[in-house]
Amino acid sequence: MEERPEERPHTDSHYEEELKQLQTSILEMGGFIEKQIASALAALVGRDDDLARRTIERDHSVNRMDVDIDELCIRLLALHQPTARDLRLITTGLKITTDMERIGDMAVNVCERALELNREPNLKPFIDIPRMAEVAQQMLRESLDAFVREDIDLALKVCRDDDAIDALNGQLFRELLSYMIEDQQTITRAIRLLFIAKYLERIADHATNIAEMVVFMVKGKSIRHLDHVPPSV
């Protein structure tokens, strides 16, 4: 005789455990990537080639986490056929790992530019770039906190904080442009610094994507492509 659903409580319990594992795995991946960003900036500011190379080598761990979380999401979709809120949670998890994997790639790119810059004298003191990295790391951390806590207000804050990164990037661009105009010998170094600023801007963009997905997960409403971040949803 076929068992009725209420006679198989262990299935539901296992399903809930897997949903919690999904959230935990995403947080662990986010924490690892945040350390990758910090290591990349430390390698740049400290002119530490060994740290830059170690950070690049650790990127395989990011890729492995991405694959593991994808497999968990696909298993949940295939075996449990979730609906409504759970379905949005799982599909959001799939999308979040894509953004986080790309953030990991940006940290690697920073290290690659650092290795190049370390062969030449510093062009200028590092002020704006560490500040951009600090804001980007905070945005990533808060977007994942918003995901786990289903915190719409925090997700919207992350979206608004993207303006701070854009402002810092614009300020740095103008400063480096003046270096290049005044002395052509600074052009190569200035361009590499501009690349790094762009990588950090992209990290912030990916954190914003995560925050926007949190809003969709919780409310079922998309705020992507809006001209302005709404005060509430």
What pLDDT score was predicted for residue 11? 55
Structure-token pair, residue 114: 């650092």
116-129 confidence digits (pLDDT tens)? 999 999 999 899 99
Q: What is the 3-state secondary structure (H, E, C) of 191-224?
A: HHHHHHHHHHHHHHHHHHHHHHHHHHHHHCCCCC
Residues of the chain under the 50 pLDDT cut: 1-10
For residue 111, the number of C-alpha atoms closer than 13 Å in the C-beta half-sphere is 23
What pLDDT score was predicted for residue 40? 97
What pLDDT score was predicted for residue 230? 77
What pLDDT score was predicted for residue 12? 78
10-36 confidence digits (pLDDT tens)? 457 888 899 999 999 999 999 999 999
For residue 228, the number of C-alpha atoms closer than 13 Å in the C-beta half-sphere is 3
